[in-house]
Structure 1
Amino acid sequence: MTIFNLGSINADLVYRVPHLPAPGETLAATGFTRGLGGKGANMSVAAARAGARCVHIGAVGGDGVWALDRLTEYGVDTRQIAKSDEATGHAIIAVDEAGENAIILHPGANAALKKVGLINALAEAQAGDFFLTQNETTLQAEGARMAQAKGLRVAYAAAPFEADAVQAVLPFLDLLVLNAVEAAQLEDATEKSVADLSVKDIVVTLGADGCRWYETEEKTVQDFPAFKVDPVDTTGAGDTFTGYLIAGLDRGMPMEQAIRLASKAGALMVTRLGTADVIPDLKDVQDASFN
């Protein structure tokens, strides 16, 4: 099967800092790198490295040819990525010595995708394929609606969290992935607990505490412990988890097995410095051992 991922493509400008800056503070960085990122690109790379066929739907500016080359190198189908007059999106990421991060996003070309591009991209989709999207681009609700109508399984990562955007796609979802903070924000916005939402499968990531899976039709809840690691950089770990999770489900894994695979990939990711460029491949994940 195929994963169609409507998502962002960014240049990640990563600054190593002794601590995350406080308001009004000027802080000297101890290191700098530029890499491929964006929640969408990260998830596409993760899905491809997990063994799935992944078609990325998005846009870059004239300055983004390097990003297309990098995605292709990592196994992502880039034929549905449009060229925009806008500059390629970018993120300014500060990472402290404990691996925690703070991120500023500029959407650029990610906000310039046209509906005709989405229609063309989904023309080749078949029932049973996956449609995946996040909140760093446009046309999420339109894409989810079109995908559901074609019989695709629709998955959504609710980040960066926007209450209106999340509620617009909820009626079309088969799978919702969000972290604990986003889950609390969604509960406030909907005045419902996560377990009462009309989405069959909901996975809430809990950082070092692992994740929780809600199967709302059977009204079951299952916790999965995290693999214990010493974090170097948490940037992209959630995206890696989501990409691996969707890839596992796309390959026919039961949810429990897909979650464990995704958890292992996410744990390995936080031991690496960077984003899409260092997402582990399937052999790395399968061979990894944790205490």
Structure 2
Amino acid sequence: MTKSILCVGALTLDTIFRLDAQPQKAGKYLPDDALQIAAGMASSAAAAIARLGGHAVLWASAGADATGERVVRELEAEGVDCSHVRRLQGARTAFSSILVDSSGERVIVPFYDPRLAGPAQSVPPVDASGFAAVLVDVRWPWAAEIALKAARKAGIAGILDADTAPVELLEQLLPLASHIAASEPAAASVTATADPRECVRILADQYDVFTAVTAGADGCYWAERAGMPVRHVEGFRVEAVDTLAAGDVFHGAFALGVAEGRGMTEAICFANAAAAIKCARFGGRAGSPRRDEVTAFMETGRISA
């Protein structure tokens, strides 16, 4: 039986608008394109894993409402196991409005019902017989802590997608991970330096685990653990259309690489390629590639239509 990756955290309905430029003043703006899609950090990573040929299980919270029904159906259609998505009576499923400009940059306005972040009555059984890795984001801290502790007890990879969050929350979760994969802003907020190479050194020395900091088009900086050299895997150059969900696709692809036993350089290169392809396509996680597309892109540098 193929082992799964448990993805823990955010589940939202994203409404994405493509504009020539970000609005600078109040008014009405007509987009060039738009779509709605089930997303969220952990959910987008799970969908990316499924498209890349892996098996993803999602542990997230949604309201017992029509939006929750919709996002679960969409992710199940992608091949994500949503049997552990809890539906809360009286809570609203999270949603976001997102503006993407012609350079691919975005403005995100999310709403998370606070009730979605509360403790769950049931927890997925995390053990080495069923799961190869756990990937958590920072949007459901209670579940992230439970899942990372369970991964450590089971002796499997516990990967933390350390994105922008209060420093005290990051410092709560960082010691629990076996693999830290942080965004530049999150790493800078914890280490008080904007140099990604120095961020990696500080975090790796402090927590003595695999540590990576993603740097957009510049690729990824990483170290095996404390005292080890900081290495760099270059990013792939593409014309950016939409950077939304690129980090989620990176983390999903990286988690799959770890679960498959790839070396760290190979896993990061694979994740960089998947994220680059996504950036060349509008629609947030809708631009997530299949495995054959990533393989072809790594070999040829060309993205299939």
Q: TM-score if structure 1 supplies the norm length?
A: 0.91
Aligned to 2:196: none
Distance in 2 of aligned mates of 1:27 and 1:194: 44
Say if 1:2 and 1:199 are closer, same or farther in 2 by CA, change over 3 A.
Answer: farther
Q: 2:102 aligns with which of 78, 97, 101?
A: 97
Alignment partners' CA distance in 1, 2:86 and 2:149: 21
| Aligned match for 2:293, one of 272, 284, 287 | 284
- Partner SS for 1:14: strand
Aligned counterparts, 1:238-257, within 5 A:
238-257=247-266
CA distance in 2, matches of 1:217, 1:249: 19
Residue identity matched to 1:40:
A
Which structure 2 residues correspond to residues 31-110 of structure 1 after superposition, within 5 A? 31-61=33-63, 62-63=65-66, 64-85=68-89, 86-108=91-113
Asked if the contact 2:127–2:151 (Cα under 8 Å) also holds between the matched residues in 1, the reply is: no
Identity %: 24
Cα drift, residue 43 of structure 1: 0.6
Partner of 1:131: 134
Structure 2 SS opposite 1:115: coil
Aligned twin of 1:111 = 116
**In the alignment, is the contact (CA less than 8 A) between 1:18 and 1:29 conserved in 2?**
no
Q: Verify: 1:28 aligned to 2:23, yes or no.
A: no
Which residue is 1:172 aligned to?
Answer: 176
Distance change >3 Å, CA 137–CA 57, structure 1 → 2: same
Distance in 1 (alpha carbons) for counterparts of 2:188 and 2:102: 28
In structure 2, distance between residues paired with 1:29 and 1:199: 50
SS of match in other structure, 1:220: coil
The SS at the match of 2:61 is: strand
- Residue type of the alignment partner of 1:209: D
**Distance apart, 1:216 and its partner CA:** 1.9
- 1:275 alignment counterpart: 284
Q: Which residue of 2 aligns with 1:143?
A: 147
Gaps of 5+ in 1: none
CA displacement, residues 239-275 of structure 1 (integer Å, 9 cap, x when unaligned)? 1011000001101111111111101101100011112
Residue matched to 2:160:
156
State the secondary structure of the residue aligned to 1:122.
Answer: coil
Match of 1:233 among 227, 234, 242: 242
SS in 2 for 1:184: helix
How far off its partner does 1:67 sit? 1.4
Q: How far apart in 1 are the matches of 2:7 and 2:125?
A: 10
Distance verdict in 2 for CA 1:124–1:179, change over 3 Å = closer
Residue 260 (structure 2) pairs with residue 259 (structure 1): no
* Residue among 7, 19, 28 paired with 1:5: 7
Does the CA contact (< 8 Å) of 1:13 and 1:93 recur in 2?
yes
**Cα–Cα, structure 1 residues 39 and 76, in superposed 2: closer, same or farther, change >3 Å?**
same
- Equivalent residues of 2:254, 2:267 under 8 A apart: yes
Which residue identity does 1:276 align to in structure 2?
R
Separation (CA, whole Å) in 1 of partners of 2:271 and 2:114: 29
Which stretch shifts more, 97-106 or 25-34? 25-34
8 Å CA contact 1:268, 1:280 repeated in 2: yes
1:162-184 Cα distance to aligned partner (Å, 9 max, x none): 21111111221111111222211
Q: CA deviation at 1:96?
A: 0.7
Contact 1:122 1:147 in 2 (8 A): no
The one-letter code of the counterpart of 2:26 is E
Give unmatched runs, 5+ long, in structure 2: 194-198
Alignment check: 8 A CA contact 2:126 2:150 kept: no
CA distance in 2, matches of 1:144, 1:129: 13
Deviation at 1:278, TM superposition (A): 2.7
Match for 1:54: what amino acid?
A: A
Distance 1:52 1:218 in 2: 33
> What displacement does 1:209 show?
1.0
Q: Contact 1:110/1:137 (CA < 8 Å) preserved in 2?
A: no
Aligned length: 287
CA contact (8 A) 1:84 1:112 kept: no
| SS of equivalent residue, structure 2 residue 37 | strand
Amino acid paired to 1:94: L
